[in-house]
Amino acid sequence: VVREYTVSPTNPNVADVASARTILSLDQPVFNHNGSWMGFSPQEAAAGHNYLYVTQGDGGNQHDPNNHAQNKNDWFGKVMRVDLDGDAFPADSNRNYAIPAENPYVGADGADELWAIGLRNPWRASFDRATSPQEEFPCGPNDRNHRVLCAIWRYNDPSIDYCDRLN
């Protein structure tokens, strides 16, 4: 569950628990490969966008037996990007966000929230502030030799592979 909180009206160093608002929710089917991370791109934030990136593991079990990571219609094994400044699903209390129009699957086969697919267990990520907009999503079983680098400019065409595996 990803939730948003506002600052307490009486203490600016504390979140107001009563202000909790669910942004999105996903039930994990098994105990492993539930890696998750969330963050904002410095470049997009500087441009005034409130786009939240959320990673999800592939739902678990060895070798992704349900092929979640390659299924463009579910959220497992993916990086999602949602716009916190809107609500495209006002009737759904578990989906309080809008979809950035530039997401690669908007208007194509696949869930509109998806930004990158085919990840195993992306439990950590970062944005490259110094050079081109690029993210790194560690996702290997032991995170020793498996790093996925995803360049933003490659995401504009859903027909290409989004990530290059580096060993």
Phi, psi angle pair for 35, to nearest 5°: -55, 140
pLDDT (tens place) for every residue of the chain, 167 residues total: 899 999 999 999 999 999 999 999 988 888 777 778 899 988 888 899 999 999 888 887 777 788 888 899 999 888 999 999 999 999 999 999 999 999 999 999 999 999 988 887 887 787 766 654 445 555 445 444 344 444 433 344 444 444 443 33
Q: Where are the beta strands (DSSP E) in the chain?
A: 2-7, 15-24, 38-40, 51-56, 78-83, 114-116, 126-127, 134-138, 147-151, 163-166
